[in-house]
Structure 1
Amino acid sequence: MYTYKILLHKEVEGGYTVTVPALPGCITYGQDVDEAISMAKEAIEIYIEELKDRGESIPVN
């Protein structure tokens, strides 16, 4: 299991954009904080699976 810090940015038009600094390009969005965190977990899982499929190293936080 991996642990990554996420950054939530409250958008002016509503909702939250989430980035994962340790995983370049791993960005998602949620309507509220709970959804944003849930979406971030899913995005991280997909990102890591893609790295594994490509045989690339997985960044540690």
Structure 2
Amino acid sequence: MTEKTDSSEQAPLKDSRQERLKNALRENLKRRKQQTRERSRTGDAADERPPPGADDSGA
């Protein structure tokens, strides 16, 4: 019988976790969109960087 009370107590916890995750994802998306806008305004500075793995280590 304690299983029913445990699951009913976990429901609000699950909902609050879902809300936190939803808000975190939304904020992350906003931040990524803002970064994309800033990069496009600065003339695509990312194009000036060498591709990953193209270092001069000589390995």
**What TM-score bracket applies, with the shorter chain setting the length?**
0.3 to 0.5
Larger CA Rg, structure 1 vs 2: 2
- Taking structure 2 as the reference length, what is the TM-score of the superposition? 0.42
Q: Which has the larger share of helix?
A: 2
